[in-house]
Structures are given as C-alpha cells and as structure tokens.
C-alpha cells in the first residue's frame, strides 16, 4: 500500500495498492480487461467487459473513482482524466451508449473527457450509480433556477418602478407649468389625480377617473398636458 498527496483541489491523500502479478492475478486482470494478452495496460476495454448497461455503468464508476474530479457548485464541471486519446474515446463511447454526452479535451500530458452544467453532470453520476448525488445536483439546479427567476423578476419590478417614478416626475413638472383650473375637465381631472398620487402608475390613475378610462386614454391626456406645457 502506497500513499501520495494529490496536487490539485483539496490536496487530499490518495492510496495505491501495488500487487505482484502472478498467474492468477494476470488471469483476473485479463478477464477484467485491464491488461492485454502481452501484459500491457489496456486503454480501451474489450467489448465483452462493457457489453451490458450495468457493466458500462460500473466501468464509468471505476473511471470516476480512479481519475475523476468534480468542481462547483457554480459552473459545475466534472472531468475524467485518461492517459491517452484511446481511453478518452472509450469513455465517450461508453457514456454515449447510455445517452450521456461527454466532451473531449487535450491537456498537456493527458486527455480528459468532461461534462458541464447540472443536467449533464447529474446524468454522468447517475449512470455511475451515484443516484443520491444526482438527485442532490438536480435539487440544487431547481433551487438555483428558482433563485435566478426571483432575482430577474425583482430586477424587472425595480426597473418598472424606476420608469414609473421618472414618468410621474416629468408629468408633475409639466403640470406645475400650467394653470390647472383653466384646463378642460378631462385634462384637469388627470392633472389633479397626478398631483394627489405622484407614486401611482398611469393605469391606476386611469382607474380613478370618473368614469374610469383606459391606460391609453390616460397616457393621451398626459401627452396633451406635456405639449401644452411645452408651448
């Protein structure tokens, strides 16, 4: 048993099991698709090893445990490192056979396949048998989406309030330049409502008219007031 400290991420201690390869061990590694008939490591497993869905999930799980990394929660990124392009291509094909797409990237002395985003990463870990982790990722994605929608709506509401305040200020400035008592009844009514309720949007002012009018009609009256003030 040997240990080493990983350089990246949390610099955690990792363990390696070294064993003498006798005839029995060699036969086991050959059967598992780890070694070739010549005793060399295989990057691409034989078809018999990953012929079934459960076997493909197990192979991906081994790759994830042996050479995988996951970073997040923001910009979630899962990566599986391999020693060469054959191994990376094999992982891509194994995942694709289960409907999961992995991208490929060359990085210095190794090749990696990776998935980005909550949905893609959740698909990979679910295929590898980590169903609980996949559910947590999906839950986090739902919460993040809900928070994003809430922020977007809050920003939109704030922008609407700002536009309403600015429009009301322009309308009040125009009204202050006019002799409201001499205006026709309809114009006088909307002008007095704006004076009494400077914070209300135009649609609510329209509803307070007697009889109530449409927002478009109220906007038209305000436009007439501003034109009168401009002259």
- Give the domain CATH number at 119: 3.10.28.10
Residues 52 and 114 in one domain: yes
Count of structural domains, the chain: 3
pLDDT of 135 over the 70 cut: no
pLDDT digits (tens, 9 = 90+) for 178-224: 898 899 999 999 999 988 888 888 889 899 999 999 999 999 999 99
Identify whether the C-beta of residue 15 lies closer than 8 Å to the C-beta of residue 3: yes
Nearest to 114 by CA among 132, 101, 129: 101
Asked whether residue 137 is domain-assigned, the answer is no
**Quick one: 155 and 209 in the same domain?**
yes
CA distances from 124 to 75, 76, 81, 228 (A): 16, 12, 14, 67
Cα–Cα distance for residue pair 125/88, rounded to 1 Å: 17
Last residue of a domain, one of 99, 129, 159: 129
Residue 148 has pLDDT above 80, yes or no: no
**CA atoms of 15 and 23, how far apart (whole Å):** 25
93 found inside a domain: yes
What counts of helices (H) and strands (E) characterise the chain? 8, 6
Does residue 93 sit in the same domain as residue 171? no
How far is it, in rounded angstroms, from Cα 114 to Cα 103?
5
Report field, pTM of the whole predicted structure over 0.95: no
In a domain, 135, yes or no: no
Instruction: Determine which of 93-107, 143-157, 213-227 has the lowest per-residue pLDDT on average.
Output: 143-157
What does the pLDDT read at residue 162?
78
Q: Identify whether 187 is part of a domain.
A: yes
In angstroms, the CA 106 to CA 108 distance is 7
Per residue in 67-91, pLDDT tens? 888 777 677 788 888 878 888 888 8
According to the model, what pLDDT value does residue 114 have?
Answer: 86
Mark whether 58 and 24 lie in a shared domain.
no
Residues 148 and 123 occupy one common structural domain? no
Residue 139 domain-assigned (yes or no)? no
Name the residue among 30, 87, 84, 25 with its Cα closest to residue 60.
87
- Judgement on whether residues 101 and 178 belong to the same structural domain of the protein: no
Comparing C-alpha atoms, which of 14, 18, 65, 70 is closest to residue 5?
Answer: 14
Is 224 a member of any domain?
yes
Asked if residue 136 is part of any domain, the answer here is no
138 in a domain, yes or no? no
The domain boundary residue, chosen from 95, 129, 163? 129
Q: Are 140 and 148 in contact (CB under 8 A)?
A: no
Bridging pattern class, strands 68-71 and 13-16: unpaired
| 123 and 153 housed in the same domain | no
Q: Which range of residues forms the domain containing residue 183?
A: 144-230
Triad 167, 171, 174: Cα angle to 5° = 145
Q: What pLDDT, on the 0 to 100 scale, is given for residue 73?
A: 67
Residue 163 predicted with pLDDT over 90: no
- Alpha helices (H) along 177-230: 185-196, 202-208, 215-230
Instruction: Give the pLDDT score at 186.
Output: 92
26 and 51 co-located in one domain: no
Q: Are residues 151 and 219 in the same domain?
A: yes
66 and 38 in a common domain: no
| Same-domain status, 117 and 163 | no
* Distance (Å, whole) CA 199 – CA 193: 11
What's the CA gap between 100 and 97, in Å, rounded?
7
Same domain, 151 and 216: yes
């Amino acid at each position: 048993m040997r240990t080493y400290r990983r350089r990246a991420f949390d610099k955690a201690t990792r363990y390696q099991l070294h064993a003498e390869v006798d005839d029995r061990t060699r036969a086991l590694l050959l059967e598992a698709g780890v070694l070739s008939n010549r005793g060399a490591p295989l990057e691409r497993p034989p078809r018999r090893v990953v012929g079934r869905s459960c076997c493909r999930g197990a192979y991906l799980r081994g790759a994830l445990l042996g050479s995988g990394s996951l970073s997040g929660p923001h910009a979630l990124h899962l990566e599986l490192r391999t020693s060469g392009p054959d191994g990376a291509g094999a992982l891509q094909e194994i995942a694709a056979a289960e409907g999961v797409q992995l991208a490929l990237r060359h990085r210095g002395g190794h090749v990696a396949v990776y998935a980005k985003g909550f949905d893609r990463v959740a698909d990979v870990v679910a295929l590898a048998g980590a169903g609980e982790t996949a559910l947590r990722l999906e839950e986090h994605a739902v919460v993040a989406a809900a928070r994003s929608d809430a922020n977007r709506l809050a920003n939109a509401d704030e922008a609407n309030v700002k536009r309403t305040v600015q429009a009301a200020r322009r309308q009040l400035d125009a009204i202050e330049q006019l002799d409201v008592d001499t205006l026709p009844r309809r114009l006088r009514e909307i002008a007095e409502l704006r004076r009494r309720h400077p914070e209300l949007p135009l649609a609510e002012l329209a509803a307070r008219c007697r009889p109530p009018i449409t927002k478009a009609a109220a906007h038209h009256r305000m436009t007439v007031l501003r034109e009168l003030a401009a002259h």
